[in-house]
């Protein structure tokens, strides 16, 4: 041992003990920092990993929070509260919701129920919707960009949307030719606000979208696989207009197409998936809602239904981003464990000396955990700062591109204080988890054997 090493060891011992067997916090901090300083490279990797994990978590959590509050909520505020959506009832078993057997009340929506609904007091407009009950996908070229995706599609009777269309005769069933398509008026705003900026696509006005053509592949999708029966084929579709009666996130076609497609590709049979009832009288709407609920059906206002759909989308995105952040943080925790194993191994003599002077196993484990916390706190601060900076830059660029849109959001990110605090807690938890094995190694070492060696 060199003279300088002996002096350092003596200084460490003097710092560590204010009185016999009593470890001071300040001394532990000095002891931990010296270990990280002597292993700068590996410590730097662990620091960067924790910072990256926190940055991903904070950035995407702030984005989802901002989209929920500034984009989706603003769009859904314009949906009427008195427009009801009636769907078949379900059996709630804890957190599971199962479809009712066909013999139970409220299990299906058929022509008889549709006729009854039209006779209810206060029901001014009633129409049915039938979903495409098998996998489908869409592909086409938009402003020079090729795109493909899975899709949700529904069918309505042509007269339902006739008053909203400039040329209502275009939205009708035909044995030959292109399939006419409607989309909800909110869809172009969502495209211009979110999808186009994120993918570098140009913004498009609703008038520019009229006449847009694309291929709809029937019987196969990217995530849903292949239909139970039928031969996969494609049909050519054309966007002919916009309607508030169209599905929120997808396309709507004349119902006869859906009837025939479902018979060709699925075993479900002909049945409606939802009824939509409009009433200008809030009291009448409430009475209609109670009547359907008494019959065993699920009833929501259109605003509630759209908000629920948006909530499911946000939860899915949140799960994906959380998995990405968790993967990065797990790698950081593993790297931290590797770094601390090296530090513990190099300091075996120091730990053995502490044990011989009265330090407990818990004291040694706490020293290793403190080292992990000292690394995680500044790493979390750097990660949060990076997320806030990137969010500010992204928001400035995206909102400048959305200038002039009628539903342009005021912001895209939202960072409540609790989210920032969660970033620090997330980093500390990952660091403590990663330091468990090296802390156990430090605490379980045999001081007598080490000092003899």
Same domain, 296 and 398: no
Same domain, 115 and 260: yes
Q: How much is the mean pLDDT over the chain?
A: 77
Based on the structure, what is the number of domains in the chain? 2
Q: Which of 274, 302, 330 marks a domain boundary?
A: 302
d(CA 445, CA 364): 10
Return the pLDDT at 85. 82
The verdict on residue 189 lying in a domain is: yes
The verdict on residue 298 lying in a domain is: yes
Short-list 396, 379, 389, 278, CA closest to 332: 379
| Res 443 pLDDT > 80 | no
d(CA 45, CA 49): 6
Short-list 130, 183, 182, 186, CA closest to 156: 130
Same domain, 65 and 206: no
267 in Cβ contact with 229 (< 8 Å) = yes
Return the pLDDT at 91. 64
107 in Cβ contact with 101 (< 8 Å) = yes
| Greatest mean pLDDT range, 25-39, 47-61, 133-147 | 47-61
User: Beta-strand (E) ranges in 53-190?
Assistant: 83-87, 90-93, 96-99, 125-131, 136-142, 145-150, 153-156, 179-183
117 in Cβ contact with 295 (< 8 Å) = no
Return the pLDDT at 192. 73
Same domain, 232 and 336: no
| Res 238 pLDDT > 90 | yes
**Mean pLDDT of the 221-240 span:** 86
Same domain, 100 and 126: yes
Taking the CA atoms of residue 247, residue 126, residue 102 and residue 94 in that order, the dihedral angle to the nearest 10 degrees is 60
Same domain, 134 and 35: no
Tens-place pLDDT, residues 114-125: 888 888 888 888
For residue 447, count other CB atoms closer than 10 A to its CB: 18
Short-list 385, 386, 323, 67, CA closest to 198: 67
Return the pLDDT at 402. 58
Q: Which of 302, 323, 348 marks a domain boundary?
A: 302
Return the pLDDT at 239. 93
Same domain, 89 and 209: yes
The verdict on residue 309 lying in a domain is: no
| Res 17 pLDDT > 50 | no
Reduced to 3 states (helix: H, G, I; strand: E, B; else coil), residue 143 is coil
Same domain, 319 and 285: no
430 in Cβ contact with 329 (< 8 Å) = yes
d(CA 201, CA 192): 9
| Res 360 pLDDT > 90 | no
Tens-place pLDDT, residues 153-176: 999 999 888 888 888 899 999 888
Across the chain, which distance is largest between two alpha carbons, in Å? 99
Same domain, 46 and 124: no
Reduced to 3 states (helix: H, G, I; strand: E, B; else coil), residue 126 is strand
Reduced to 3 states (helix: H, G, I; strand: E, B; else coil), residue 125 is strand
Among the ranges given (116-120, 135-139, 342-346, 371-375), the one the predictor scored with the smallest mean pLDDT: 342-346
Return the pLDDT at 126. 87
Return the pLDDT at 14. 41
Same domain, 246 and 188: yes
Q: Percent of the chain, pLDDT > 70?
A: 73
Return the pLDDT at 30. 67
Domain extent for 241: 82-302
Same domain, 339 and 292: no
196 in Cβ contact with 202 (< 8 Å) = yes
The end-to-end CA distance of the chain, in Å, is: 14
| Res 23 pLDDT > 60 | no
Among the ranges given (13-27, 58-72, 247-261, 330-344), the one the predictor scored with the smallest mean pLDDT: 13-27
The verdict on residue 310 lying in a domain is: no
Q: Which of 267, 302, 337 marks a domain boundary?
A: 302
Tens-place pLDDT, residues 382-426: 999 999 999 999 888 777 765 555 556 677 788 989 989 999 998
């Amino acid at each position: 041992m060199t003279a300088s090493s002996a002096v350092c060891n003596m200084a460490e011992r003097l710092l560590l003990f204010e009185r016999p067997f009593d470890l001071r916090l300040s001394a532990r901090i000095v002891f931990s920092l010296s270990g990280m300083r002597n292993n700068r490279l590996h410590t730097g990797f662990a620091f960067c990993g924790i910072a990256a994990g926190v940055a991903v978590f904070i950035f995407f959590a702030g984005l989802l929070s901002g989209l929920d509050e500034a984009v989706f909520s603003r769009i859904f505020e314009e949906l009427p509260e008195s427009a009801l959506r009636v769907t078949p009832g379900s059996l709630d078993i804890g957190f599971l919701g199962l479809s009712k057997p066909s013999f139970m009340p409220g299990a299906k929506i058929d022509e008889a129920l549709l006729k009854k609904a039209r006779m209810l007091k206060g029901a001014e407009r009633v129409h049915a919707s039938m979903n495409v009950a098998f996998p489908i996908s869409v592909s086409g070229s938009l402003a020079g960009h090729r795109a493909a995706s899975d899709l949700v599609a529904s069918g309505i009777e042509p007269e339902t949307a006739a008053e909203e269309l400039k040329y209502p005769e275009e939205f009708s069933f035909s044995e030959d030719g292109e399939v006419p398509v409607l989309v909800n008026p909110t869809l172009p705003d969502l495209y211009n606000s979110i999808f186009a900026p994120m993918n570098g696509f140009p913004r498009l006005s609703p008038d520019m979208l009229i006449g847009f053509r694309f291929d709809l592949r029937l019987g196969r999708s990217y995530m849903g696989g292949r239909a139970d029966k039928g031969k996969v084929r494609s049909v050519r579709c054309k966007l002919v207009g916009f309607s508030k009666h169209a599905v929120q996130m997808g396309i709507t076609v004349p119902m006869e197409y859906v009837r025939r497609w479902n018979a060709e590709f699925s075993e479900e049979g002909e049945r409606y998936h939802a009824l939509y009832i409009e009433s200008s009288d809030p009291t009448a709407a409430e009475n209609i809602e109670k009547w359907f609920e008494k019959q065993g059906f699920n009833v929501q206002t259109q605003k509630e239904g759209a908000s629920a759909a948006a909530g499911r989308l946000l939860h899915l995105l949140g799960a994906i981003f959380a998995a990405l952040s968790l993967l990065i943080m797990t790698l950081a925790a593993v790297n931290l464990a590797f770094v601390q194993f090296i530090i513990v191994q190099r300091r075996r003599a120091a730990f053995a000396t502490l044990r011989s002077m009265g330090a407990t196993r818990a004291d040694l484990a706490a020293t290793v955990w403190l080292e992990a916390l000292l690394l995680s706190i500044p790493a979390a601060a750097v990660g949060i700062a990076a997320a806030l900076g990137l969010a500010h830059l992204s928001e400035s660029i995206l909102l400048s591109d959305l200038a002039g849109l009628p539903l342009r959001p005021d912001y895209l990110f939202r960072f409540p204080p609790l989210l920032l605090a969660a970033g620090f807690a997330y980093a500390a938890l990952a660091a403590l988890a990663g330091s468990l094995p090296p802390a156990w190694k430090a605490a379980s070492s045999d001081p007598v054997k080490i000092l003899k060696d």
